[in-house]
Amino acid sequence: MRTRWRALAEGLHEFYVGPYRRTFAKAQRDEDDLFRMLVMSEMLGVPNPASYYTAELLPVLYDGFHEWHRRMGMERSPLEEYRCC
């Protein structure tokens, strides 16, 4: 009985979420891009009052930096000290 309810719940979830999966993925990517820009704003020349706290996150964000700046329309890395291309 429990497995039938679980299967029904999964089916309903897929029915309602399935058509919007691409929209949710785009919204998540946009949110991640904004977060990355806020964390790297000091390096991009924008004053950031929270740079003391966001500096710890920079090594984590460097992994996806190349995809981010290409998605933002920058042909080359905007950072002088960090070349990825």
Residue carrying structure tokens 């964390």: 39
Entry field: residues in the chain: 85
Residue 63 CB partners (closer than 8 Å, separation 6+): none
pLDDT tens digits, 34-85: 888 888 887 777 888 877 787 788 788 777 777 887 887 777 777 666 667 6
Q: Which residues contact 37 (CB under 8 A, 6 or more apart)?
A: 44, 72
33: Cβ contacts below 8 Å, ≥ 6 apart: 68, 71, 72
Taking residues 17-25, report their average pLDDT. Answer: 90
pTM of the model: 0.62
Instruction: Write down the pLDDT at residue 61.
Output: 79
Instruction: Tell me the domain boundaries of the chain.
Output: 21-72
CA atoms 48, 67, 65, 35: torsion sign: positive
